[in-house]
Amino acid sequence: MISILLADDHAVVRAGYRFLLSQFPRFRIVAESADSDGTYHKYFQYHPQVLILDLALPGSGGLSVLRRILGRDPKAKVLVVTMHEEALYAKRALEAGAKGYLPKSADPDLLPKAIEKVARGQTYVAEPIAQALLAQYASGHPEGMLARLSPREFEIFCLAARGLTLKQIATNLHISYKTAANYLTQIKHKLNVATLAELTHLAYVHKLFDTVI
């Protein structure tokens, strides 16, 4: 039997997962979470075999909690299930250590398959996204100007674009205020923007709202 932790801030979505997975006796949902900190603590409370993780969790976000969990448990098996189908998000999630990536628009029959593959320690990426990633690597064309950002810079970029203050970003990511400020300065330089308004506009252009890490 595969034990599962569901991490999604929408109760209706979690209910949908429960209904779907209840049809498979080999799956057992041991806990649920609706935010980043809760996901982190429940993961180490229940030690699920697979964590189903949404990227748009309140708090520090999905990518941040993914890194925190893997920093403490490098063998954690995480399947990202998200509304975003762009290769950008899959690339970032896989770089952060996720074993699988599945858009919420995918056929529901793919979820059990993805869980089983991730539970075995294998990588699962939905076919259209996998093809997009392969096309990017083959052409040498990254996902755009956001490719200039490191994983940590990408996190801070997204949080700042959501309107979080430097103090809130520092608290959510468990870093100092000075470190957060230095990162934001680097981000503005790399993206050639001077204000938070310009940074927020970039996030809008790249369809980052409601993702966010």
Same fold, 2-139 and 145-205: no
The 10s digit of each residue's pLDDT in 25-37 is 999 999 999 999 9
Domain 2-139: CATH class, spelled out: alpha beta
**173 versus 5: which is more confidently predicted?**
5
Task: Spell out the domain ranges in the chain.
Answer: 2-139, 145-205
CATH no. of 145-205: 1.10.10.10
The 10s digit of each residue's pLDDT in 143-194 is 567 777 887 888 888 888 878 889 988 888 888 999 999 999 999 888 888 8
Average pLDDT, stretch 71-83? 94
Cβ–Cβ under 8 Å, residues 33 and 67: no
CA angle 114-75-102, nearest 5°? 25
How long, in residues, is the chain?
213
The 10s digit of each residue's pLDDT in 83-134 is 877 777 788 888 889 999 999 988 999 999 999 999 999 999 888 787 777 6
Taking the C-alpha atoms of residue 84 and residue 88, their distance in angstroms, rounded to an integer, is 9
